[in-house]
Structure 1
């Protein structure tokens, strides 16, 4: 018979759990204090334990630690009130299988959780499922233990209706992780809505977040649905939350505290059940000390904090990342061993985003089957001054060979060394000029990830000229 240990000082809660599981055919043992726990002799007979986070004489985390040490096979569920959810999350990091909040609302869910743990299927799915989902979503975890621990923990807490704060340097993949959490949650079939708080002016951000009613201000010709309303029952991702103005921070705090917001110009409060995931490349605790971020808002956001390691702390994964990113470009190229070694040594201040951009730019300069030498990398990566950008001229590059042949023909014509049909030469020059323009445009579009406005700005062209050269109507 399966045995369940209940460590709980509230007698009514303990009696309820005992009755619930005895009716299901499980044997239960109830103790009400840390002292009684220490007096027990047979810990190994329990397969599951419900542990209250707060006991009169002991912290539940201490009992969790001791029980996992004495009976590693015993799955543990932490019981907590709302005010101690942050501590319960810490318990998961220390080995708890899950946590439930008091007062209990979904008794059936507790039964199902206990049944799965006692059958040893729930824990194994939690341990293995995180990697399968990451692969399915295209999240690259590599071999770095810190990344695997991060995603495994994110997978465990995804099903909980708690606010999450993601911190990490620019380009580490904070939105990728937020998407992963949404996909691992029970909200996966609901909307995932993201907004960059630093990319929108203060005057527009409030309208974007909360929406406005018709006639709320000049130009408000129709009612607008804000992000909180659009994401209700789903997930709202607030990227670069540190960039939100003090006025916006106050309004965000109210929504997090009450679940209510007011449209601009509106008089009726509206409710949202959106799950909030915030992200910042700035250390928000430091921002609080510098008086640029509200401490009470940080308290509301930082129920669970996930910190993504920078790429320089997972250098062992860079060769695999390079290969993965090359496959995404659909270019059949290979990086020389010394090139990869150079890229592994580089610190990557822009992290994954910078690495992906370097791969795209390098692939644009290469031809099919080319082995990429170190000097084809951007200056910062190959150790040169950023202004020095050396382009490798490969003798087997058909395009460059055509230019060399054309140059020799022009030279022969100029020197009168051989007869050249001028009209034929001019036609060849026009064709190659067009080929060169198209090649440079395609290369620049790869560098800007298809953004034609950026590409046009870099090339000193208009978007209309780009369409013309690419023979687009």
Structure 2
């Protein structure tokens, strides 16, 4: 989308000159010769940036700036005046102006100021959009199991500090969700949350992505680029798949952790940032350290607080909560689905979920799409879940053997429950798995036969 520049200046020849200069740079330009007309164009034309003269008859530039910031707080505004003083510059900046240029000015200088202001505005918008999308996508951590309650408690304690955090867990267990939850519960919540997938980019591009680069630093570096650490200033940077970093990048990251400073690629200026770092991996970093593939000193810098996320198969009691949460997310719109059939839910609870929460979310989304009624049934689930259920039907054979006659079905069921509890050492979830039933069904049958659960 081509940026649109709004020029507000009471001198028509200045409007013409600025409009021509902006169009030469490839921008669209619209002009207004009074503050009131400029505000009207701001409301109706949706410009990307405003060039605003300070001294105008009637409504002067300072008054116009106040109104602009009330209507559109984030739009960049560059003040232009022939009466520039430090005092008026400071006052304009306090009111929200991005920059200040004095007549007579060099057009090339003005073009550079406009370019930088637009770039900064674009980066701010990207970060704002990213934060919004992350919040909509992930929401809050869901679960009532002891394992996830422990994670939530640790998040609450860690959020109040500035400690660096290392999150570990299998793929799909919610490492980015956890990092975002820490950020949102912290004093940094009003500043950016900036995620970086360290495995997604080769080393040179990752360095540029993290630390930025100067114009001409390498082939293709046609303009200055601010890195993710700069974007995350005062906020949180989330380094996912940290174990995939090369040794050289590990050394550079260690310096940032130690000194909170860095240089852009191709630059000499040392930049200082106030950033909280959260890292994550699904690999065994201690094993990588043993093999010499990951720096031990970096590990200890990152691992000030360690949060391990349990796989979904170790928190089966949370599966109904998660499944219904995803159902509510996807059933909006044209889809009539409102519920999950108990048999289908039993299949979800008993499946091992190698892809964890991410896989469960995909399964629910798929079921909502293919379901034509108002309830998700077993046949709407992937075949691997149904096959797992078929296999579970034979799990009882490995628990206990009975004589061919002389015993009632009720006695068989009671004995199976007792044997399953014995085999699982009283773990209700594991006992239910052995029997091929849900935990709630196990509790119901145990109460029926007066079996005491631990």
Q: TM-score, normalised by structure 1?
A: 0.51
Match of 2:377 among 367, 373, 377: 373
1:136–1:363 distance in 2 versus 1, CA, 3 Å = closer
Match of 1:339 among 338, 344, 364: 344
| 1:317 partner SS | helix
**2 CA distance for matches of 1:194 and 1:314?**
27
**2 CA distance for matches of 1:365 and 1:136?**
22
Deviation at 1:135, TM superposition (A): 12
Deviation at 1:322, TM superposition (A): 1.4
What does residue 352 of structure 1 align with?
Answer: 357
Give 1:52-63 correspondences, 5 Å limit.
none
What does residue 228 of structure 2 align with?
Answer: 227
**2 CA distance for matches of 1:379 and 1:247?**
45
Deviation at 1:310, TM superposition (A): 0.8
Whether the 8 Å contact between 1:343 and 1:382 is mirrored in structure 2 is: no
**2 CA distance for matches of 1:141 and 1:349?**
19
Q: Structure 1: which 4+ aligned runs deviate by more than 6 Å? A: 134-137
1:320–1:284 distance in 2 versus 1, CA, 3 Å = same
Deviation at 1:352, TM superposition (A): 0.6
**2 CA distance for matches of 1:184 and 1:307?**
18
Whether the 8 Å contact between 2:213 and 2:225 is mirrored in structure 1 is: yes
**2 CA distance for matches of 1:199 and 1:136?**
20
Tell me if 1:167 matches 2:168. yes
Q: Which runs of 5 or more structure 1 residues have no equivalent in the other structure?
A: 1-133, 386-473
Whether the 8 Å contact between 2:351 and 2:388 is mirrored in structure 1 is: no
Deviation at 1:290, TM superposition (A): 2.4
| 1:228 partner SS | helix
State which drifts further: 315-324 or 191-200: 315-324
**2 CA distance for matches of 1:287 and 1:249?**
13
Tell me if 1:260 matches 2:261. yes
1:61-81 Cα distance to aligned partner (Å, 9 max, x none): xxxxxxxxxxxxxxxxxxxxx
CA RMSD of aligned residues (A): 2.0
**2 CA distance for matches of 1:359 and 1:135?**
17
1:181-234 Cα distance to aligned partner (Å, 9 max, x none): 111111111111111001112221000001011111111111110011111111
What does residue 297 of structure 1 align with?
Answer: 298
| 1:380 partner SS | helix
**2 CA distance for matches of 1:320 and 1:135?**
18
**Count of matched residue positions in the alignment of Structure 1 and Structure 2:** 251
Give 1:163-202 correspondences, 5 Å limit.
163-202=164-203
Match of 1:382 among 379, 386, 392: 386
1:186–1:136 distance in 2 versus 1, CA, 3 Å = farther
**2 CA distance for matches of 1:148 and 1:384?**
28
1:115-173 Cα distance to aligned partner (Å, 9 max, x none): xxxxxxxxxxxxxxxxxxx9997324321122112111211121211100011111111
**1 CA distance for matches of 2:256 and 2:381?**
47
What does residue 452 of structure 1 align with?
Answer: none
Whether the 8 Å contact between 1:144 and 1:314 is mirrored in structure 2 is: yes
Q: TM-score, normalised by structure 2?
A: 0.53
Deviation at 1:317, TM superposition (A): 1.3
**1 CA distance for matches of 2:352 and 2:319?**
11
**2 CA distance for matches of 1:329 and 1:282?**
32
1:88-136 Cα distance to aligned partner (Å, 9 max, x none): xxxxxxxxxxxxxxxxxxxxxxxxxxxxxxxxxxxxxxxxxxxxxx999
What does residue 364 of structure 1 align with?
Answer: 369
1:310–1:384 distance in 2 versus 1, CA, 3 Å = closer
What does residue 147 of structure 2 align with?
Answer: 146
**2 CA distance for matches of 1:144 and 1:312?**
12
